[in-house]
Structure 1
Amino acid sequence: MHIRNRFGLAGLLAFLTAAAPLAAAQAPPEHVALTGARVIPISGPPIDGATILITRGKIAAIGEDVEVPFDARVFDVSDKVVMPGLVLAHTSRGTDRANETRPVTPQLDVYDSIDPSQLFFEDTLRGGVTAVHVMPGNNTVIGGLGRVVRPIGLDLDEMTIAEGAFLKIAVGPRRGYDPMTQRAELRAAFLKHADALAKLAERRYEEQREEDEKPLDVLPDEARKRGVKLIRAEDLDDENRNLLRLTGGFVKVGDEAGDPILPPLGAFVYCERAMDVGFAVQFAKDHGFFDRLVLVLGGECYKAIDELKAAARPVVLPPDLLYRESDPITGEVSETFVAKVFADAGLHFALVPGPDTSLPERLLTYQAARCVRNGVPRDVALRAITAWPAEMLGLGDRLGTLEVGKAAHLTV
């Protein structure tokens, strides 16, 4: 039996993920088997004539001699290729607006902005994408939390794969800002956060002394140090809660640090130009989130490849992979295919689609094909739309490759 379905490349998602039932009145089959496929697992070499057995939404077996349970729903895909569902690492599409007018909004969550009815999600699914990281846009200073969703579902809770684990920050200037203003606003936001924590620590120490029916015995600076370990997660408003998570989840006043009270956040940091990269890396180191940093790069940022190699952090490449510039003296135009620069440097990167839905660049597979055409190794190009974006989202143990135990997000 051959499969025909309205979702094209990713049409099996409804069958193969536990959170996307076939229909309200019909329970999904416990076992699903795809037989005879050419499987590209990404984690290893291709397998011809393979069977993939899926049990309760997870991959149970892959290989040429897989025993299929008698009650499995079987699809013959002998003339097809099966690979992992594609992972879109960064987009602000699918929301009612990319950014708010205020420049600093760490308390926001795209959960309140994503519209599941937007055609973007169906179009994305048709293109083979089964996981989308929706984030605030780049026109911000601190933009709020993102969320990883399936591009299919009746409501956002059904679509959600992972709640916000990354905060959006922009080093590249928002509209109306120059680089100096952008960086000053970013520094000011963190200084305001540090001051709020110091005052909260002082207040908690005063409250504790009052509860113990003891008079205040120290000056404010010492009270703040002593109050660090008294701060509770519930004492924080949403704005300071997310910034505290970004800086590691523990309160620090001066040299005094408390115990972790919240799970840490990572950050997707937008850099428009090469000059932004060094600042972004150092800022992340200074504020304790360097090991959870993902850089979202503009076209010119390939010029900072030495700094990027030294940082060794994953990056999201711009949708226009071909960077053009003209010599100011001769007027001669030069072109650089930026993905090749990053591949040659050995850095992990994610590809994203172009914004124009009428052009082939809207497809991640086309972006990967452009990479191969311009000298990027085929396995690197495939990883840039599957395994590497899954890893940078902290979902490498669930998505991005076809392996036993992982979620059955497949593209056929």
Structure 2
Amino acid sequence: MNVRRIIGWDFIGWHRFSNVCRAAAGGILIASVVGILAVGSRAAPPAKIALQGGRIIPVVGSEIAQGTVLIENGKITAIGEKVEMPYDAMVVDVSGKVLFPGMISAHTWRGLDRANENLPVAAYLDVYDAIDPSSLYFEDALRKGMLAVQVIQGNSCVIGGLSRLVHPIGLTPDEMTIRPSVALKLSTSPRSGFDRMSQMAAMREAFLELEYYLENLAEKRYEEELKKKEKAEEEEEKGGDVALEDDVVLEDVGPDEARKRGRSLIRDEDLDDQHRNLVRLKDGRLPAWIYCGAATDVGPAIETAKANGFLEHAVFVLGTESYRAVEELKAAGRPVVLASELVHQERDPITGELSETFVPTVIHEAGLLFALQPSEDSSLAEGYLNYQAARCVRHGVPRQAALEAITLGPAKMLGVEDRLGSLEVGKAGYVVVLSGDPLDFNTWVEKAYINGILAYDRTKDVRLKELLGLEEKAADKKKKEEEKAAEAKEGEKDAEKDAAKDKEKEADGKAEKDETKKSKEEEQKKEEKDDEPPKQEPAESPAGANR
């Protein structure tokens, strides 16, 4: 039973609740949670919603300069310049905005408690058991317009578990699920503690052990059916009836023949957890996503897929250096998922010159279907799928191919192209409302609709408001500090001027004082001179006195 429907929450209501719960974990009182619950609760979303007046980029078909997308009961029922509007539809004016399909993150371990398991071969695992709906990654994905995410085990494995395609909002993994058991993860790149030889040996051993298991199980099933036949014959003599397999001739045969005939008798319920997914993989009922970190990993990956019969259902997840094996990939004709770095750098060992190769260009020119990945570091621009697509266009990839690499391309790889990846009548209402062209670096997500339900509204993004508020506060603080520094600098200049004036005054005062002192000394000398008695001339002796 869906708890959210019982209490009437929509997606926004749930996000408000989850945001508050996270805040409460940091110290806010539970009473405040209860208060927000009352505010966040809403009525059921409208059955019909029309996004009217925006530029429509459907990915499939021509763009519409100004049109309407009508969503009824979760599905797109009309799209075009002129759409007949139901009287009871809720109309949302998106004039000046861009309507774009919900972007798809094709490959990530984010949302799990950890990327990898300790066991190299663990085909029985399912990410369903480890998805954390309250992970901040999902909130961030929604904010970036990624409305579908394949959560899959990391690359450090030999054979990993089952992946799951989810939308990034919901109370439980079940509520988030778009498609369960999408693919099985494999890797031909050496995991931690392995070299390439031991990696491939473990891979071969896993499939060889599977064959031994199936042979024994087939023989066992054949013997069971043979015993049922014998019992049926006994019951028939008594007038009874026992159900038997009609498509297998049951008779006493040797072990080898019993194993051969018994293969078709094996049922899913006969398989144990360790082998069930590998059997589904070999039977073509389950795709394989194979990680190839280097060019030398591509050949073994293709050979393994061929030898075990699942090449036609394989997707190759590449490292940046794997583009060197583009001819092998082209011959295999299978889609690829590119590493988020997109650029492979290599330094010439002789000249030391650094060369760069833009990988999507090489892959596109080879005619391969490809999907882009966002960076695991959400703080970087590469964490936005539309930015990754813009980089492709800048390096010569056609605009249409770049847009498909974040929408319809991954939808095809994930087997949901009938529901997601483009804006078309009959598809699910996964729509993002953008502020501008998806390949414009300044574009952001205004709103996001999942199955026609408003799942994200930028104006109500509490965390973003806090972030922008902090940025504004930081800007104000910086401005005040700059003003304060400028004032201090002016003060220093004024102080220097005052000091110079004081020094000048001091110098003038000293000169005046010296002059006064000098004049006083001169006056004193003059007075002393005036006070001296006049010198008397010696009297001249009378003439003849000495005689």
User: TM over 0.5: same fold?
Assistant: yes
1:203 aligned onto 2:220: yes
1:310 aligned onto 2:327: no
Report percent identity of matched pairs: 58
Q: Deviations 1:316-356 (Å, cap 9, x if unpaired)?
A: 00010111011111111110010111122221100001121
Q: Deviations 1:87-106 (Å, cap 9, x if unpaired)?
A: 11110110012111000000
2:195 to 178, 183, 187: 178
- The separation in 1 between residues aligned to 2:401 and 2:290, in whole angstroms, is 23
Structure with a larger share of its residues in helix: 2
Q: Which amino acid aligns with 1:132?
A: V
Report how far residue 219 of structure 1 moved.
3.0
Give 3-state SS (helix, strand or coil) of 1:304's partner.
Answer: helix
- The separation in 1 between residues aligned to 2:367 and 2:180, in whole angstroms, is 30
- The separation in 2 between residues aligned to 1:127 and 1:161, in whole angstroms, is 19
Report how far residue 220 of structure 1 moved.
2.0
Give 3-state SS (helix, strand or coil) of 1:103's partner.
Answer: coil
1:371 aligned onto 2:392: yes
- The separation in 2 between residues aligned to 1:229 and 1:370, in whole angstroms, is 51
Structure 2 unaligned segments of length 5 or more: list them: 1-9, 14-39, 232-249, 434-547
- CA root-mean-square deviation: 1.8
1:240 aligned onto 2:275: yes
1:134 aligned onto 2:160: no
Report how far residue 210 of structure 1 moved.
3.2
1:156 aligned onto 2:173: yes
Aligned 1:284-323 pairs, distance under 5 A: 284-323=305-344
CA distance 1:207–1:24, change in 2 (3 Å): farther
- The separation in 1 between residues aligned to 2:171 and 2:406, in whole angstroms, is 26
- The separation in 1 between residues aligned to 2:143 and 2:66, in whole angstroms, is 25
Report how far residue 211 of structure 1 moved.
3.4
CA contact (8 A) 2:158 2:191 kept: yes
Report how far residue 290 of structure 1 moved.
1.1
CA contact (8 A) 2:50 2:92 kept: yes
Give 3-state SS (helix, strand or coil) of 1:399's partner.
Answer: coil
- The separation in 2 between residues aligned to 1:162 and 1:226, in whole angstroms, is 34
Q: Which amino acid aligns with 1:111?
A: Y
Aligned 1:89-238 pairs, distance under 5 A: 89-213=106-230, 217-238=252-273
Q: Deviations 1:235-275 (Å, cap 9, x if unpaired)?
A: 101221101100016xxxxxxxxxxxxxx000100001111
Report how far residue 216 of structure 1 moved.
8.9
Q: Which amino acid aligns with 1:103?
A: P
How many residues align structurally?
Answer: 380
Cross-structure match for 2:367: 346
CA contact (8 A) 2:55 2:64 kept: yes
Q: Which amino acid aligns with 1:243?
A: L
Cross-structure match for 1:272: 293
CA contact (8 A) 2:222 2:259 kept: yes
- The separation in 1 between residues aligned to 2:133 and 2:11, in whole angstroms, is 16
Structure with a larger share of its residues in strand: 1
Q: Which amino acid aligns with 1:42?
A: V
- The separation in 2 between residues aligned to 1:224 and 1:165, in whole angstroms, is 30
1:382 to 399, 403, 408: 403
Q: Deviations 1:359-378 (Å, cap 9, x if unpaired)?
A: 11111111111111111111
TM (norm. structure 1) is 0.89
- The separation in 2 between residues aligned to 1:408 and 1:357, in whole angstroms, is 26
- The separation in 2 between residues aligned to 1:149 and 1:194, in whole angstroms, is 33
Report how far residue 14 of structure 1 moved.
6.7
Give 3-state SS (helix, strand or coil) of 1:370's partner.
Answer: helix
Give 3-state SS (helix, strand or coil) of 1:144's partner.
Answer: strand
CA distance 1:36–1:216, change in 2 (3 Å): closer
Give 3-state SS (helix, strand or coil) of 1:133's partner.
Answer: strand
Give 3-state SS (helix, strand or coil) of 1:240's partner.
Answer: helix
Between stretches 52-61 and 280-289, larger displacement belongs to 280-289
- The separation in 2 between residues aligned to 1:167 and 1:278, in whole angstroms, is 19
Report how far residue 209 of structure 1 moved.
3.1
CA contact (8 A) 1:13 1:409 kept: no
Give 3-state SS (helix, strand or coil) of 2:269's partner.
Answer: helix
Cross-structure match for 1:46: 63
TM (norm. structure 2) is 0.67
Structure 1 unaligned segments of length 5 or more: list them: 1-11, 16-22, 250-263
CA distance 1:75–1:211, change in 2 (3 Å): same
Cross-structure match for 1:20: none
Between stretches 32-41 and 270-279, larger displacement belongs to 270-279
CA contact (8 A) 1:13 1:130 kept: no
CA distance 1:149–1:91, change in 2 (3 Å): same
Report how far residue 24 of structure 1 moved.
6.9
- The separation in 1 between residues aligned to 2:358 and 2:307, in whole angstroms, is 32
Q: Which amino acid aligns with 1:166?
A: A
CA contact (8 A) 2:11 2:170 kept: no
- The separation in 2 between residues aligned to 1:148 and 1:232, in whole angstroms, is 26
- The separation in 2 between residues aligned to 1:25 and 1:317, in whole angstroms, is 41
Aligned 1:326-341 pairs, distance under 5 A: 326-341=347-362
CA contact (8 A) 2:187 2:290 kept: yes
Report how far residue 213 of structure 1 moved.
4.2
1:80 aligned onto 2:115: no
Cross-structure match for 1:252: none
Q: Deviations 1:124-166 (Å, cap 9, x if unpaired)?
A: 0100110000111100000010000000111111100001121
1:281 aligned onto 2:302: yes
Report how far residue 357 of structure 1 moved.
1.8
More RCO (CA 8 Å, sep 6+)? 1
Runs of 4+ in structure 1 over 6 Å off: 12-15
- The separation in 1 between residues aligned to 2:226 and 2:80, in whole angstroms, is 66
